[in-house]
Structure 1
């Protein structure tokens, strides 16, 4: 993965998450939820992420982290393979992409997306899909600059009894 051009060499990088990163990833996920005005993650997120990322021979979830020298982890992206009935094919769903306030615009967002793209290619998947709230105009401009195309849909959730 390449370094951003507007930061000193070696001061920032994107890499795969390691088990010791998970407490900080859980903190970033809580910041992400607050940013999106969503319910915060339930306690124990780092343990649940550990199971999804490292607990099986074929992990269900992938996580990449943005790291700034002298600051630590400042962002993350998560993704997992999903299915499209209409396409009759798998794609990589980017569930989260988040950089802390004050660390956006440094070139790490494109690096996180590139890490997800590389993961899709490694899995033989030809498409990445994700969503963002319609009010998140900064993210929409960012995704448009990447050349992504938007699909207008509304996302619903339905709790189960499990």
Structure 2
């Protein structure tokens, strides 16, 4: 097992707990979507910056030469990202209320979808443990970025359609 693997599990658990805590606060006190929905793009931009920084550090890791994975591995990571993003997008909805503002519709399945994403990620880590650490990190980041882009851009489109009604 890689030395950084236990830390990645602790990090994932912390993120899961943070998401559940934030969602419980938000569902107790619903707030309308603000800034015409453009705030939905913040995770896309932040992930791009974080991933670029991570890739820069990976390319300078001693003893771990950086090279791009095979094209079929990149395509598979993108396809998995599209599937996961599409599932999250399907479970994301918005509603226009009497006050004329748009609110995100609570989704009882969100926690199950999030847990499924994490289980799939852990399962893939076990399945691809023979891959180089740098290569696996790149593929995981690519999958996550595609997933978040599909989900957030699609959510923005759904929000704008609801706003136009």
TM-score bucket of the superposed structures, by smaller chain: under 0.3
Give the number of the structure whose residues are more often helix, by fraction.
2
Give the number of the structure whose residues are more often strand, by fraction.
1
> Quick one: higher RCO (CA 8 Å, sep 6+), 1 or 2?
2
